[in-house]
Chain A
Amino acid sequence: MAEEWRLLDTDLGDAFYNMALDEAIAIARSKNLVPNTLRFFRWEPSAVSIGYFQSMEEEVDIKACNKLGIDYVRRRTGGGAVYHDRDGELTYSLIINEDHPLISRDFQKTYENLCSGIIRGLRILGVPAEFKPINDIIVGGKKISGNAQTRSMNVVHQHGTILRDVNPTLMFTVLKVPSEKIRDKMIKSVKERVTSIKSYLKKEVSFEELKDALIKGFEEAFNIRLIPGEVTNFEEQTAIKLKMEKYSTREWNFKR
């Protein structure tokens, strides 16, 4: 009998709620209130997230974001700055008890284990994805998914992006570049290093098709069954509190 995990699809949410709900689920999991969980979500408005150790001022063009109505938030995970496009990107989170066989003491190994679900899902769509250490998934040598992980309270939390479509020009309007002179060069270099399902397959894959493939990919790779579920009342209340007291505050977002 395959293990049963919960599947959450919270679809569109703002950056602060999205990050707060991830942490809320991890807290609920640590208290054994919910099973291991796969969550899908998107960002509305589009947003930039930065890694735990990054500086908001250094990484993000705040003025450009404010002008374009793009939110910015610090993640609880390390890694780099990411532009999350409302219509281009699907984000997932995995919240798993640390004693699960998929979880190794070795972070690198755990990335590889958990990314195997995404890779399998992308292959179902005809995208021959591969894992690239440290925390990327690539296709034809170009990045299609970035992932970041943290652990606390005996729970592993990994979240990451899957690009349906990519817009490097907008990406570098909201992310800081060392100088204006090299902005074009950086946009060009991103075009050479980053791809999307649409660019690779030369056709549009809808969010629904992508999610269906990923569900299947995770079920096969992890030998689990994903049962559609709901955010619990505890998780929702905790998320609202974390959004208000942490993720939407200047104190958190500009702390480094």
Chain B
Amino acid sequence: MLKAEHKVKGGKLIKVHLRKKDSKIDFIKITGDFFMHPEEFIEDLEKILIGCPLNEAEITKTIEAFIKKHEISLLGVTPKDFAKCIIKAGGVDG
């Protein structure tokens, strides 16, 4: 299992546990002390990230679209911070 942490400046801490397959996300768990409302969407977010290529821009876009679609509020982290942490765990080149 690949792991990474990302502390957002002036914000919260994100931790990612990741498994990859062919440069794509095969399994992901996002934990940390951030705020996301409604909270229950974290599991759906992890689900839609499966199969997503390990590319920071693409992951950011995927998370942004998900947040918008479900009217989710984030506090202490941004979609880009999640993406950064995921790339940190998974590496860019797969």
**Chain A residues proximal to chain B, CB less than 8 Å:** 51-55, 58, 76-81, 107-108, 133-135, 148-152, 256
Contacts and interface: CB of A to CB of B under 8 A. Distances in A.
A256 B34 CA distance: 14
Nearest to A75: B39
Contact of B32 (A54, A108, A148): A54
A54 B39 CA distance: 12
Which of A78, A134, A135, A256 is the most central at the interface, judged by chain B CB atoms within 10 Å of its CB? A78
The 3 closest A-B pairs by CB, nearest first: A80-B33, A78-B35, A55-B31
Given A107-B75, A134-B11, A134-B12, A78 B31 contact: no
A53 B33 contact: yes
A244 to B, nearest CB: 21
* Category for how many chain B residues contact A: 20 to 34
A79 B75 CA distance: 10
A20 to B, nearest CB: 17
A114 B33 CA distance: 20
Given A52-B39, A256-B29, 12 more contacts: A51-B32, A53-B31, A54-B31, A55-B29, A58-B31, A76-B39, A78-B39, A107-B37, A134-B35, A134-B75, A149-B35, A150-B38
Which of A53, A81, A107 is the most central at the interface, judged by chain B CB atoms within 10 Å of its CB? A53
Contact of A78 (B10, B15, B29, B36): B36
A224 B11 CA distance: 32
Nearest to A78: B35
B35 to A, nearest CB: 4
A249 B43 CA distance: 19
A84 to B, nearest CB: 16
A53 B37 contact: no
